[in-house]
Amino acid sequence: MKDDRALLQEALQEAKLGLREGGLPIIVARGHNLRVQSGDPTAHAETVCIRNAGRRRDWHELTMVSTLSPCIMCTGTALLYRIPSVIVGENRNFLGAEDLFRSRGVELVVLDDPECIEIMAEFVRQHPDLWNEDIGL
């Protein structure tokens, strides 16, 4: 659990970078949500992170860390690359396809982190138009 929280702190730093850029404060590893900045509706944090990771053969040894529960697209991307472990900061503001992860044997840890909950809730309050144009509805 301590290592999970340390990984989440790294994810939060990246999420805050995305927020300062005017994007959504959602992050996975080292790639934050770039949907707003790039105009690419598929540029969710998880897909950006996987794209940034490049070609590799060790996906089955990696852990994906996200401040928010991954949507169905991002869940599918993680499953495609057979990422075996996912750490989620929070799922109160959005409950993604966690049941799909579990059904495929992915180890899923939801930390219910207060800072993740607050940063996302504040974003949704301040920017409902951005939130609702994608997975918010």
Question: Which domains are present in the chain?
Answer: 2-128 (3.40.140.10)
Distances (CA, A) of 80 to 95, 104, 119: 20, 11, 29
**pTM, 2 dp:** 0.83
Looking at residue 136, what is its pLDDT?
65
**pLDDT score at 122:** 94
Residue range 49-100, pLDDT digits in tens: 899 888 888 899 888 999 999 999 999 999 999 999 999 999 999 999 999 9
Catalytic residues: 46
Which long-range contacts does 51-59 make (Cβ < 8 Å, 24+ apart)?
53/29, 59/83
Residue 39: predicted pLDDT: 92
- Please check whether residue 89 is in contact with residue 66, taking contact to mean a CB–CB distance below 8 angstroms: yes
How does pLDDT run across 2-24, given as a tens digit for each residue?
688 888 888 888 888 888 888 76
